[in-house]
Amino acid sequence: MKILHFIDSLGYGGAETLLTNYIPELKEHDHVIVTFSDTNFYREITNQYACYNLDGNPVKNLFKIVSRLKKIIAKENIDIVHSHSYWTNIISRLATPKRKKLINHYHFADFDTMLSNYKVRLQLIIDKTIGHRNLRRVAVSDYVYGILKQHFPKGQNSCLPNFVNTPANSELKLYPYTKGTPLKIVAVGNIIHEKGYDVLLPAFEKLKQYPIKMDVFGEGDSMEIYINELHRRGITALKFCGKQKSTPALLQQYDLYCSCSTSETFGIALIEAVAAGLPVLISDIPAFKEIAPDSAYFFKKADSDDFFNKVTDIYQNGITAVASEYKYLLQKYSKPVFLEGLRDIYQH
């Protein structure tokens, strides 16, 4: 079969990481990649496939983009269209012939977390209105699957959890933190509002007396704002370090992984931290409660005082991971399990 994979861009992100990790494994199929943007940080992978850039805003140039995608589907003789974002989902329905199989992947939870926003309510109406005879909606977690079941109860909905791309047969080594020793915390994620980094500023003002440091790796338009605010508050133990690829070697330089996200649909960076053997401190959002180990420390999302309390508790009492929990999660969210599920979706 020939599969067209449709995504906003190939910048850094969970959906992009997922797509560029699974396509090379599906050697029994031919692949075509289509994006709205020419941003591409994965050329060593995508250069192996036919790639098209629609080069346009999906809202302002809707009909033009639909027309271009229709032509690509016909030219490449596509059997399955697989899209990965809100607007790629909608446009794929308008462009894909009704006899073709269409898969819309849901990597977002806006229909739960942002439904008070009138624009999101409008997007939900559009999603409900524009259909396709052979459409299957695919959720990246049980949490997102519940959202799909709520809003599209008569649709064909599936749950296919994301995976972490760990080397085959890699050994799990745990890195417990010993109480009272200098504590080094790491966070990985784009510098955007949903990552909840605002909670760190007042907390680290109060943590100045403790030997606790935190590095945040990621890029985004808000980075300069955070850096300036750190200078204004005289905070030196918290640093925004820019983009760096999340690897076991990087994560294992730290004692604790942290995510302050106020909204996630899965949490690939969290499972990467599990693969690196780090204890974790995370916000109590539904997606994290679903995939985190039982030994994880949770704090109330957007609650700086609770974050401070949990960090100081870890410093005073230590924290360690539980090997059996970590091994279970790494098996559950492994590439082979994901590929088996994806192949089943493609075939049925």
Q: What percent of the chain has pLDDT over 70?
A: 99
Same domain, 155 and 204: no
Sheet holding 101-106, edge to edge: 50-53, 30-35, 2-7, 80-83, 101-106, 135-139, 157-159
The pLDDT, as a whole number, for residue 245 is: 80
pLDDT in tens, 151-190: 999 999 999 999 988 765 678 999 999 999 999 999 999 9
The pLDDT, as a whole number, for residue 344 is: 97
Query: Residue 65: what are its φ and ψ, rounded to 5°?
Result: -70, -40
User: In terms of Cα–Cα distance, which of 109, 97, 86, 140 is closest to 4?
Assistant: 97
Is the pLDDT at 259 greater than 70? The verdict is yes
Same domain, 115 and 188: no
With respect to residue 8, please indicate whether it lies within any of the assigned structural domains.
yes
Secondary element (H or E) of residue 53 = strand 50-53
Query: Residue 239: what are its φ and ψ, rounded to 5°?
Result: -130, 140
Which residues form the domain of 78? 2-163+333-347
Kindly tell me the burial class for residue 253, based on how many C-beta atoms sit within 10 Å of its own C-beta (0-12, 13-18, 19 or more).
exposed
Cα 328-331-333 angle, rounded to 5 deg:
105
Residues 4, 23 contacting (CB under 8 angstroms): no
Sign of CA dihedral 74, 80, 86, 92: positive
With respect to residue 276, please indicate whether it lies within any of the assigned structural domains.
yes
Same domain, 200 and 154: no
With respect to residue 46, please indicate whether it lies within any of the assigned structural domains.
yes
Same domain, 156 and 188: no
CATH of the domain at 193: 3.40.50.2000
Structural domain count of the chain: 2
* 345 contacts: CB under 8 Å, gap ≥ 6: 103, 136, 138, 158, 160
The pLDDT, as a whole number, for residue 166 is: 77
Token pair for 293: 């180990």
pLDDT in tens, 99-132: 999 999 999 999 999 999 999 999 999 999 999 9
User: In terms of Cα–Cα distance, which of 42, 88, 46 is closest to 69?
Assistant: 88
Same domain, 239 and 115: no
DSSP labels for 155-166? S-EEE------P
Residues 187, 181 contacting (CB under 8 angstroms): no
Same domain, 158 and 192: no
Residues 291, 266 contacting (CB under 8 angstroms): yes
With respect to residue 172, please indicate whether it lies within any of the assigned structural domains.
no
DSSP code for 80: E
pLDDT in tens, 187-223: 999 999 999 999 999 999 999 999 999 999 998 889 9
With respect to residue 178, please indicate whether it lies within any of the assigned structural domains.
no
With respect to residue 202, please indicate whether it lies within any of the assigned structural domains.
yes
Same domain, 11 and 158: yes
Residues 186, 251 contacting (CB under 8 angstroms): yes
Same domain, 187 and 121: no
Same domain, 48 and 143: yes
Same domain, 305 and 339: no
pTM of the full predicted structure?
0.92
With respect to residue 170, please indicate whether it lies within any of the assigned structural domains.
no
**Ramachandran area for residue 234 (φ above 0: left; ψ -120 to 50: alpha; else beta):** left
pLDDT in tens, 291-344: 999 999 999 999 999 999 999 999 999 999 999 999 999 999 999 999 999 999
